Amino acid sequence: MERRAFLTGSGLTLAAGSLNTFAQAEGPKTQLSHKTLAQADWSGLRKLFPLTYDYIHLATFLLASHPKPVADAIAMHRQAFDSNPADYWHEHFMTIDGKIAQAAAQYMGGQGHQIALTDSTTMGLAMVYSGLKLNPDDEIVQTVHDHYSTDLSLQLRADRTGAKVKRITLYQDPAKVEVDQILSNLKAGISSKTRVVAVTWVHSSTGVKLPIRAMADLIQGINAKRTDADQILFCVDGVHGFGIENEDISQLGCDFFIAGTHKWIFGPRGTGLIWGKDSAWQRTNAVIPSFSQSYDVWMGYSSQDQVPIGEHMSPGGFHSFEHRWALPEAFKLHQQLGKANVQSRIHQLNSQTKEGLAKMPYVRLYTPITPSLSSGLVCFDVEGMHPDEVVKKLHSQGVIMSSTPYRQSYARFAPSLINNEQEIEIALAAIAALAKG
């Protein structure tokens, strides 16, 4: 439905006018060059995406549209492969993973040799958790707020090793969560047998962002009283904070940080990474044989200690290389915009969303208002409506959002860099109309 019809039919009066009017004002009459994009130029950034203007896109965190620099790099690599795949592969495969990891480190912190390349968050979680060196009496602590990918990866490892998985609750009411509550519940959940703590930075189930640095400090305090063999590994699924929060990942305090790069980063679809401390990598084994420099070890040309640990842990085999090899362009684009600017902008739009929902009498907001405990996801309910019905009705009115894929499901917004204040107001008005109806 065109937004003109939506606004007229629902009796709403917005300065925005119709979707067509909005698109004519903001749409890409000519696509900008990313090379001329200035820091915090959100309107210019939007024009780098081929996203249709027929909808307001509030679910791009699921899977990114490729911005122009990423799309151009994919096309360049694809053309080279199609023209001469054998030569192009042999020219790059021994060195390019290291260059990609270095580009990632320049964006996220840490060092390139600490980064393994994957195809997704799920692959990264499976790689780390499937390789953990555990004994039958060891305990893995995770939370009830984690995604299915974490749940099953840890359970499968426990089944193979005899280790036990303990799931703890960090909060009851996400809207009222407090740091002290999270830390208290985490501390109570750790026992003398705990060897791994696995958490999710931003919960896609509620929008809660965990205080990772404070949790790391708590765990480090416990580790200070333990022998080396009994140290706790702190593992973080960071995908819904990665590309938003202005953090040096190596300073967060975790041992492993795992994320897909085809969500908030706007990276090529089918890409992801794992960052791990040097000491943490020593406590997990590779699961899939690596290529690149590990091939030299197999051939007898070099020894394992000459291969960067991240490359050794990166799954080998043939991937969609034109996508993986284009990943540095996504990091460059975020750095061009400015990491602090990105964080500020996404929090600004999310605060606008949460404050608008909080004023609606028939809407219950689950995500904390404070940016210190939330990030880019906003979860809510409309009284008397199933979340999927909310999503369907909004979609029919030109607004794409989602519902949380958990046993307890909520409707969910995800304002990102490709959105603006006007779009948020239109979406909020549509929800207000549902609530009144």
CATH of the domain at 169: 3.40.640.10
Query: Residue 313 and residue 131: Cα distance in Å, rounded?
Result: 10
Domain end point (choices 313, 334, 355):
334
349 plus 378 within the same structural domain: yes
pLDDT greater at residue 293 or residue 397: 397
List the domain range (segments joined by +) for residue 408: 3-60+338-436
* Shared domain check, 290 and 167: yes
Q: Are residues 52 and 91 in the same domain?
A: no
Tell me if 69 is assigned to some domain. Answer: no
68 within a domain of the structure (yes/no): no
| pTM recorded for the entire structure | 0.91
Mean pLDDT, range 100-113, rounded to an integer: 98
- The reply to whether 286 and 205 lie within a common domain is yes
Residue type, 158: A
Q: With pLDDT > 90 as the criterion, what percentage of the chain qualifies? A: 84
Domain boundary among 334, 356, 391: 334
- Cα–Cα distances in Å, from 349 out to 253, 345, 378, 401? 28, 6, 11, 15
Q: Residue 357 — left, alpha, or beta (φ > 0 → left; ψ -120 to 50 → alpha)?
A: alpha
Q: Say whether both 220 and 272 belong to one domain.
A: yes
46 & 188 share domain: no
Closest by Cα among 246, 235, 211 to 373: 211
At 118-174, the pLDDT tens digits run: 999 999 999 999 999 999 999 999 999 999 999 999 999 999 999 999 999 999 999
Residue 82 lies inside a defined structural domain of this protein? yes
Q: What CA–CA distance (Å, rounded) separates 152 from 123?
A: 12
Q: Collapsing DSSP states into helix, strand and coil, what is residue 29?
A: coil
pLDDT digits (tens, 9 = 90+) for 204-244: 999 999 999 999 999 999 999 999 999 999 999 999 999 99
Alpha carbon 392 to chain centroid, angstroms: 24
The answer on 346 and 266 residing in a single domain is: no
pLDDT tier at 13, thresholds 50, 70, 90: very low
Give the whole-number percent of the chain exceeding pLDDT 70. Answer: 89
181 assigned to some structural domain:
yes
Number of domains in the chain: 2
Sheet of 164-168, strands arranged across: 115-118, 272-276, 256-260, 233-237, 194-200, 139-143, 164-168
Q: In sequence order, which residues have a C-beta less than 8 Å from that of residue 163 and are 6 or more positions away?
A: 134, 135, 136, 137, 138, 139, 140, 157, 195
Same domain, 172 and 311: yes
pLDDT at 312: 87
Where is the domain boundary, 309, 334, 359?
Answer: 334
